[in-house]
Amino acid sequence: MYRDHIDIGYDMDILIKPTSRVPMIGREYGHFTGPGNPLFSLGGGLVRSILYYILTRFHILHGYYVVETPIIARTTLYKLTGHLDFYRENMFLLDIEGDQYAIKPMNCPYHVLIFMNLVERYRGKIKLPFKVFELGKVHRYEISGALKGLMRVRGFTQDDAHLFTRERDIRDLFLSVFGELREIYEKLFHISISAETVKLRISLSDRSKIGEEFMGSVEEWSVAEENIMKVAEEIHRVYKVDFYAKEGEAAFYGPKLDVIAQLPDPETGGVKEWQIGTMQFDFNLPRRFQLTKLLEETHGFSDLYMIHRALLGSIERFLGVYLEAYQGRLPYILSPIQAVVVGIKTGRTEEDERIMGFAERVAEYLRGREVRAVASSIDKPHLSGYIRKLRTQLHPPIIIYIGRREVESGRISVNLYDFSIRNYRRITVEKIEDLDSVIDEAEKDVKSLIGNPPKYPVQLEYLIF
């Protein structure tokens, strides 16, 4: 039975429904947060912090520097970038002490300032390509009618990076970004990135509107568009992924390459296309900030390019898409509850005590390994309904059933969710300590991505029914 990401997220205590009511006060939560500002609960806080850890470490391992920039800026910054002229209707503006400020709609201007300061101070020691990463919170105004759950919001966090490079390194850089995207999707989210599941969409300018809708000169656009087409051909050559170009759909500051993935659509039983990662050229910001001139002084060359890129895009939207496409089945490393140990009660008091004692010991052992594990119990006649509810509402990647047989033999049958078959697989271990091998198995993909997996032993026992 299909359910939307809001209901799914609510069951796992990932988010608070904006239409539910604040007790005592009697108004809806959305009345206080305002539209498009999702309020995450404890499961959501947990998922997001683990995701931030993994993404941060992943980017550091791939040669990015990490920054965190202010949420607001004086509009002088966005005057300089051109956003105030080209993007004003999407910006939240504030007046403070007679000065105008904007809530950050994009992280890029700050990243350029940081880069310029480094280049000026440390000159040739700052090597290109230079890559700077931020899990940057941005706010963009969208009409309230267009907002939808986590899919379309006004405040969101981008896995945002900016790359500063010379022309000769552009193609390698785009290729490596595509490789990074593939690693994250396949190893963290178990989404295959292949010719069968992914396409590249190239967005080009409309030549007749350059100078109006699209900033810059015809010549600048030609160079950037030629480069982006070559990059698409190169990705096609290496990864076999197809591409198509659309005229007139570029950003106002440059052409872009978006990765479009086909994900399951449980509502229809078919597939649905989603934009996942994006890589965008920008010849506007370097010119506005006179970066080219600066690099000529400090590094002795002027062929500087700036690229914006995101692998997931907006974390909020991505979570919404993922929850809906896979109906709440999160990767092991992100699951709010990773293991449930179910004691199956027979109604015979003494035996049930031993069963529950053993179930508790197993859960305790897992918690000692910093797994988010809870023990629960169910009367044997109600077992199948309970299993169904566990699998469709809480989605623990590990489910262990403890009955009389397990207590007597000490042997434990583990149901571990296997993403390659999209079902549970049974692994039997001889003793509690052997559960370590199951944990290793569950963590192996993320381990290949970033080394030791993050341990966040938050226990959300209250979720268990």
Interface positions with Zn ion (CB under 5 A): 108, 308
Would you say 308 or 395 has its CB closer to Zn ion?
308
Query: Rounded to the nearest 5°, which phi and psi values hold at 39?
Result: -105, 115
Would you say 178 or 326 has its CB closer to Zn ion?
178
Q: How many C-beta atoms surround the C-beta of residue 447 within 10 A? A: 14
Find the shortest distance in angstroms from Cβ 279 to Zn ion. 11
Find the shortest distance in angstroms from Cβ 158 to Zn ion. 8
**Helix or strand (DSSP H, E) at 93:** strand 93-96
Q: How far apart are the first and last CA of the chain?
A: 20
CA 179, 54, 4, 371 torsion-angle sign: positive
Structure tokens at 399: 């489910």
Torsion region of 296: left, alpha or beta (phi above 0 gives left; psi -120 to 50 gives alpha): alpha
Distance CA 416, CA 115 (A): 46
Find the shortest distance in angstroms from Cβ 310 to Zn ion. 8
Give the residue from 392, 370, 393 showing the smallest Cα distance to 455: 370
3-state secondary structure of 295: helix
Torsion region of 216: left, alpha or beta (phi above 0 gives left; psi -120 to 50 gives alpha): left
Would you say 108 or 355 has its CB closer to Zn ion?
108
Would you say 284 or 338 has its CB closer to Zn ion?
284
Find the shortest distance in angstroms from Cβ 107 to Zn ion. 6
Find the shortest distance in angstroms from Cβ 309 to Zn ion. 8
Would you say 108 or 442 has its CB closer to Zn ion?
108
Residue recorded with tokens 């896995």: 159
Distance CA 258, CA 200 (A): 6
Find the shortest distance in angstroms from Cβ 69 to Zn ion. 11
Would you say 108 or 311 has its CB closer to Zn ion?
108
Would you say 140 or 308 has its CB closer to Zn ion?
308
Would you say 104 or 308 has its CB closer to Zn ion?
308
Find the shortest distance in angstroms from Cβ 178 to Zn ion. 18
Q: How many C-beta atoms surround the C-beta of residue 216 within 10 A? A: 18
Would you say 106 or 446 has its CB closer to Zn ion?
106
Query: Rounded to the nearest 5°, which phi and psi values hold at 344?
Result: -95, 110
Find the shortest distance in angstroms from Cβ 286 to Zn ion. 12
Q: CA separation (Å) from 255 to 138, 205, 382, 433?
A: 22, 7, 58, 55
**Helix or strand (DSSP H, E) at 271:** strand 270-282
Find the shortest distance in angstroms from Cβ 308 to Zn ion. 3
Would you say 108 or 191 has its CB closer to Zn ion?
108
Give the residue from 225, 309, 305, 317 showing the smallest Cα distance to 259: 309
Strand order in the sheet with 93-96: 72-74, 99-103, 93-96
Question: Between helices 42-61 and 435-450, what is the axis angle to 10°?
Answer: 50
Amino acid in the structure at residue 84 = L
3-state secondary structure of 354: helix
Would you say 108 or 215 has its CB closer to Zn ion?
108
Find the shortest distance in angstroms from Cβ 132 to Zn ion. 10
Residue recorded with tokens 């109906």: 327
Contacts of 396 (CB under 8 A, 6+ apart): 335, 337, 338, 339, 340, 390
Find the shortest distance in angstroms from Cβ 313 to Zn ion. 12
Would you say 111 or 329 has its CB closer to Zn ion?
111
Find the shortest distance in angstroms from Cβ 282 to Zn ion. 7
Give the residue from 431, 434, 376, 386 showing the smallest Cα distance to 407: 431
Residue recorded with tokens 């300590």: 433
Distance CA 291, CA 282 (A): 12
